A and B are shown apart, each in its own frame.
Chain A
Amino acid sequence: MAERIWNMKEQINFKNVIQTVFRDYLVLAAIALLVIITSIVEPKFLTTGNMTNIMRQFGPLIMVALGMTFVIIGGFIDLSVSGILSLVAVVTISLIEPLGQVGALIVGICLGTFCGYLNSVLILASGAMKQAEALFITYGMSTVYGALALIYSGGRTKQMSLVKANTSIYKTIGTGTVGILSVSFIMFLVCLLLLYIFQNKTYMGRTIYLTGGNKTAAELAGIHIRRSITLIYTISGLMTALGAIVLFSRVTAASPVIGKGYETNAILAVVVGGTTLIGGNGSVLRTVLGTTLVILLSNCLNLLGVSVYMQYMMKGAILVLAIWLDSRKQL
């Protein structure tokens, strides 16, 4: 797969151009179509209020999806994000009183990063080199993290309004705006910029692509694939922790099951964006497009009054369809 990336630059033939256009602009076309149809059917869609709403909804999912992008580029998968999300949210909100808001923030981010690191340790120790093996290990860890969150909180939802300490940072993240952009959106832009530079301009970022392309070849070429596997899961944990903080700041409460469904949504966003599940291919920018589509879709369906269950079904259908199209492109 990595060789294919290099080859594409050298010999841009007609078929490749068609493939690239198809892959990159299908999502854009879908987004445009969705916006046009919804704004005709439901004029409320284009109001400033709704746009701000979409921008806020963007926050948690895009953070998780950006982390997931690297895991998928590296040829693995991470189902533990839902557990990490719940655990970090519950722990952070409960530590605001004893540690102060900055202390809680730091502990939360460190906890998420550690959980991600722990995943990579387990995967490396057991020598799981296949996507399927990583899928089951991270699923098991997700159960563990989720249960820890339940035990830690005693199964109760913690409201931010009941915290008897200064919560100004979280209020700013949740509802603050700079100009027309919300603060969480600016956080996302900063993360995107950093991750984009990491992905394209650093040695470690490039090795992730090679690891995903062909692990044996990468190892024989002298690349520390163990280091890049550790890195992708740690980044995923870190980004999930940030996502958790954005999420509970926005909803101003942390329940121990707050992260449920985020793993499939994040995978959906990454795959719909055009990052292939085989690994070695993809970009954080594509994930942004994919997330935009997922968020816009649920916003539009909400405005059109489609039931939540129907939306869940449609997301599953889109996931199946996206993977199907994805694999057809590789034939």
Chain B
Amino acid sequence: MKNINIGKKLLNIATKQKAVLAIIVILVIMVFSKTNFYTAYNLFDMIKSVSILMILAFGVTLVLVAGGCDLSIGGIMVVSGIVTIKLMNANIPMWISILAALLVGAIVGAINGYLVVYQGTEPFIITLGMGMMLTGIAQQLTDAHPIPCNNPNFVKLANDKLFNIIPNLVIVMIAVFFIIHYILRYTSFGRNCYAIGGDYEVAKYSGINVLPTKAMTFVICGITAALGGVMLSSMLNSGSSTYGDTTALVVNCGVVVGGTSFAGGIGSAPQSAIGLLVFGVLQNSMNMLGIDAYVQQIIQGIVIVAIICLDCYGRKRKRETV
């Protein structure tokens, strides 16, 4: 009897704090491995490599909190990156190109929002189709080759370091983090998002303007995805249609790992950051340990399945106890 209780408690902790738990486990394993994992260079590199996904994840958090889902972020990311580089190669100033790319993200987000919210389509499938379409557009724009950038200032945008320590990319990520955190926590718009995700009907009858609010989350998600795309292109100094193939699902899974729920109404920016950090730490430590790329893919797949299953299981238990 006692054993069952302890088991249940452990399961409760595992389902609630699974992200922190996973990070601690990996970090402890890495202590005993004889690698250069615990060096400032590697740790900053790890944060930098996960920053792009985090920028995308903060937008996705907003959408998931409001009860939607966006799988087109991978497509938005590659298209906006390619648009920036194409415009700059046509001798248009950098800032205008970047603004144009962000506008592309906002427009795609608005289309998603219109179709999902005002037309009542299933967000998962419609944004999957949208992502497919955007990948096609990206391939058409680049002929499926990576395209280089002619503007020498562009590469500095993400790679220059503040005080020679912190890469600009990380600073952008932190800025987006604070903006989204502020929106979700301290504005009526953010609080309304929680209400809508928690119970759509109740939110509607309490006088919240549900339709524009929910559609707006998609627009913001589109803009953050476009920003991620611009930063990615700047980091690699090239645009390619193949970068975003698995991004959407990895980011969504990462956000769910952090504790945001598919059902909506639960979640926050710090949780998403921790969730994405799990993937960053996992990837980095697997590289450090020299694990075969295909095996890495299996491990990542199993981690995704395990975490989503735990998330579902937690909700199932909740349903049954109430």
Mask, B305-322, CB within 8 Å of A = 1, is 100111111011001000
Q: Is the CB of A122 within 8 A of B309?
A: yes
Q: Determine whether B92 belongs to the interface, using a CB cutoff of 8 Å to chain A.
A: no
Given contacts A141-B301, A143-B297, A143-B304, contact A132 B124 (CB under 8 A): yes
* Assembled-state Cα–Cα distance A169/B198 (Å): 56
Residue of A nearest to B75 (CB): A316
What residues on B are CB-neighbors of A327 within 8 Å? 119-122
Contact A320–B130 (Cβ < 8 Å): yes
Complex Cα distance, B139 from A308, in Å, reads 9
Query: Would you give the shortest CB distance from A286 to chain B, in whole angstroms?
Result: 17
B253 at the interface (CB under 8 A from A): yes
**Are A328 and B295 in contact, with the CB atoms below 8 A?**
no
- How far, in Å, is B266 (CB) from chain A's closest CB? 15
Q: Is B238 located at the chain interface by the 8 A CB criterion?
A: no
- Could you say which interface size class chain A belongs to? 35 or more
Contact string against B for A residues 144-158, beta-carbon threshold 8 Å, 1 for contact and 0 otherwise: 101110110001000
Which of A123-131, A177-185, A225-233 has 4 or more CB atoms under 8 Å from chain B? A123-131
Residues of B within 8 A of A204 (CB): none
Within the complex, which residue of A129, A155, A320 is in contact with B126, where a contact is CB–CB below 8 Å? A320
In whole angstroms, how far apart are the Cα atoms of A155 and B121 in the complex?
39
Q: Verify A122–B305 contact, CB threshold 8 A.
A: yes
* CA gap between A140 and B304 in the complex, in Å: 6
A-chain residues with CB within 8 Å of residue B146 when the two chains form the complex = none
Among residues 125 to 144 in chain B, which have CB atoms less than 8 Å away from a CB atom of chain A? Answer: 125-126, 128-137, 139-140, 143-144
Per the bound structure, the CA–CA distance linking A267 and B71 in Å amounts to 15
* Cβ–Cβ contact B137 & A313, under 8 A: yes
Restricting to A265-290, which residues have a CB under 8 Å from any CB of B? 267-268, 271, 277-278
List chain A residues, Cβ under 8 A from B133.
Answer: 313, 315-317, 319-320
Which residues on the B side are within 8 Å of A77 (C-beta)?
Answer: 124-125
**Docked CA distance A77–B129 (Å):** 14
Q: A312: which of B120, B125, B126, B132 is its contact (CB, 8 Å)?
A: B132
Interface residue ranges of B104-128 to A (CB < 8 Å)? 115, 119-122, 124-126, 128
**CB atoms of A323 and B121 under 8 A apart:** yes
Whether A328 lies near B119 (C-beta < 8 A) is yes
Q: At the interface, yes or no: B69 with Cβ under 8 Å from chain A?
A: yes
A102 within 8 A of B: no
B305 pairs with A135, CB closer than 8 A: no
Give which listed residue, A131, A140, A319, contacts B308 with CB less than 8 A: A140
Residues in B with CB closer than 8 Å to A297 are none
For B168, the chain A residues whose CB sits under 8 A away are: none
Which single member of A132, A147, A264 contacts B294 (CB below 8 Å)? Answer: A147
Would A143 and B300 count as touching, CB distance under 8 A?
yes
Chain B nearest CB from A255 CB (Å) reads 14
A137-B134 in contact given A131-B124, A151-B298, A312-B139 (Cβ < 8 Å): no
| Given A126-B308, A320-B115, A320-B130, also A131-B122 (CB < 8 A) | yes
Known: A147-B297, A328-B119. A136 touches B129 (CB 8 A): no
Out of B122, B130, B297, B309, which one reaches A150, CB within 8 Å?
B297
Q: Mark A314-331, 1 if CB is under 8 A from B, else 0.
A: 111101100110111011
- B252 within 8 Å of A (CB atoms): yes
B26 in the interface (beta carbon within 8 A): no
* Known A307-B140, A316-B134: A126·B304 in contact at CB below 8 Å: no
The reply to whether A128 and B129 form a contact with Cβ atoms under 8 Å apart is: no
Residues of chain A with a CB closer than 8 A to B263's CB: 130
Interface centre among A139, A146, A278 (most CB of B within 10 A): A139
Task: Kindly state whether residue A203 has any CB partner on chain B within 8 Å.
Answer: no
User: Which residues of the partner chain A approach B313 to less than 8 Å between Cβ atoms?
Assistant: 125-127
Is A136 a contact partner of B301 (Cβ separation < 8 A)? no
Whether B305 contacts A144 by the Cβ 8 Å rule is: yes
Residues of B within 8 A of A271 (CB): 125
At the interface, yes or no: B302 with Cβ under 8 Å from chain A? yes
The verdict on A136 contacting B294 (CB below 8 Å), with A327-B119, A327-B121 known, is no
Ranked 7 nearest A-B pairs via Cβ? A313-B136, A316-B133, A127-B316, A143-B301, A316-B132, A319-B129, A309-B139
Name 12 extra pairs, CB < 8 A, besides A126-B312, A316-B134, A323-B126: A132-B262, A136-B262, A137-B305, A139-B304, A140-B301, A141-B301, A142-B301, A148-B298, A151-B298, A268-B129, A316-B130, A316-B132
B residues sitting closer than 8 Å to A (CB atoms) are 69, 115, 119-122, 124-126, 128-137, 139-140, 143-144, 246, 249, 252-253, 256, 262-263, 292, 294-295, 297-298, 300-302, 304-305, 308-313, 315-316, 319
Give 7 pairs: A residue, B residue, CB < 8 Å, sorted on A. A128-B312, A132-B69, A140-B253, A319-B132, A320-B126, A324-B126, A327-B120
